[in-house]
Chains A and B, each alone.
Chain A
Amino acid sequence: MTEPSVDAGVLARARARVLRAASQPVSEPTPAGLNTASDGERLWLLPAWPDGATPALLDEYDTAPMPMDRSGQARRVLAAALRCCWTRLDDAPWPGEAVPVPAVLEVYGGMSRGDAELARRWATGELRRLSDTDWLLLDESAGVVRPGPRVALWHDDTLGPLRDLLRRLPEPPQGVIAGE
């Protein structure tokens, strides 16, 4: 008996999980059984879950998902980034707009009390972690940030409270939005 080789489709889905939200040019073929999010140029491979479930389902079973350090702060920085990048709130947040990092830091500064310089430093670290976890796409050399591919997995019918929250956040500084 030889060792069976792994089915190519199975391996492609396993690989997508290891690499989390890996991207490829839109022209390349997509493995079956995965979700995708495209910004027109690139295509991100995302997990496909049964029956529209998301990991939020774990809440109903009192089961903790993978923890994220300082999750409250990370959520606030993500909100500040979306406030800047998700310019048309009635549309979907993905793919959104790329905006300069200082704009996000300014919005975050407006949301937090205390030492503004310290807040900016913390927020810079959080942007990096949010980028590592694919919630945001951070391009440090260009100094811009935009929504990450995981945002594309949010169901539209769950976005209401987030839209309301974002409308209450400080406005992004004028003239910093890409294309303005």
Chain B
Amino acid sequence: MSEPFEPLLRSYDERRRSELVAAYMAVEHAAEPVPEARFAALREPASRRTVEAMLNLSGRTLVRAGRTEWTSGYQDDVAAELARDPACVPPAGDRAVLTLVLIHSVAIPRSTGLLPDDTWLSPHPTPLEELRRRSQLAIGELESALRRLRLAGLVAQVRADGRSDNGDAGGFVPGPQFHRLTPAARRRLQEELILAAGPDSPLAATIRARRRSRERVRQAEREATRQAARSAGGGAREVEAHVAPEVVVQGETS
């Protein structure tokens, strides 16, 4: 069934249309970002806009990975909405295990300069033993959590490599889904990790201050819109309906 895509694809000839479909399927379903050299529709800004519009139909967006590679992810506003839906959020145990992997495989190596700032992929595995010790989960629960996280592409297993000199014992690293984070999502994750790992650090204080000031700007914007809606003779009720859940979420995270 391609009905929702039809208005976007109708004007293209058969060849261009199949290039657009291929690019769409590739960014949505490939394990890793795909090179634009292989997908004609990703090379030109005009056809990239059409791929973007196809993705937008289900709340997705193009995400650039590296200079010439592309993947897809959730649009930031859609991700925020989904995060509010308990059915869409993984269980607490899974999130705890994932957080441990991010701390050990990304945050610690990054803090010692072993990993660049804006990546969530890492060659430094978190040993299973570390997860066992720190997660406080029973071994069966930990194994189930790891199975689900691996199936979702959120973690990847690195096998012990007998050849490596540093006696690498293998373990778990962030999975390929971390390519799919938008720049805003990457930034937010970075901030959350700082708040979790060093809540009393000066950096954490800066993040909290920045979030408070952003929230003040948003509130001022909302107030302005409310007044505009009132003076436009109605519609304020709908505006309120949008902002209420947003305020609740801000309250929880700050």
Contacts and interface: CB of A to CB of B under 8 A. Distances in A.
Interface of A: 1-6, 10-11, 13-19, 22, 32-33, 35, 47-55, 57-58, 60-67, 69, 129, 132-133
Interface in B1-47: 1-5, 9, 17-18, 20-22, 24-26, 29-32, 34, 38-39
Nearest to B32: A64
Given A11-B78, A51-B17, A57-B25, A33 B3 contact: yes
B1 A35 contact: yes
Contacts of B85: 15
Contact of A33 (B4, B25, B29, B151): B4
Contacts of B57: 10, 13, 33
Contact of A18 (B22, B75, B88, B225): B88
Contacts of A13: 57-59
Nearest to B59: A14
B239 A129 contact: no
Interface of B is mostly: helix
B49 interface: no
Given A14-B82, A129-B147, A50 B21 contact: yes
A4 B22 contact: no
B200 interface: no
Nearest to A10: B59
Interface in B63-96: 74-75, 77-78, 81-82, 85, 87-88
B29 to A, nearest CB: 4
A65 to B, nearest CB: 6
B30 A10 contact: no
Interface of B: 1-5, 9, 17-18, 20-22, 24-26, 29-32, 34, 38-39, 54, 56-60, 74-75, 77-78, 81-82, 85, 87-88, 147-148, 150-151, 153, 157, 176, 218, 221-222, 225, 239, 242-243, 246
Contacts of A69: 150, 157
Given A11-B78, A53-B21, A64-B31, 4 more contacts: A11-B82, A50-B24, A50-B54, A63-B38
Contacts of A1: 221, 225
B101 to A, nearest CB: 17
Contacts of A3: 77, 218, 242-243, 246
B87 A19 contact: yes
Contacts of B31: 64-67
Nearest to A33: B4
B118 to A, nearest CB: 24
Contacts of A17: 58-60
A63 B151 CA distance: 19
A57 B22 contact: yes
A58 B29 contact: yes
A51 B15 CA distance: 13
Contacts of A32: 4
Contacts of B242: 2-5
Contacts of B30: 58, 63-65
Contact of B88 (A15, A35, A62, A67): A15
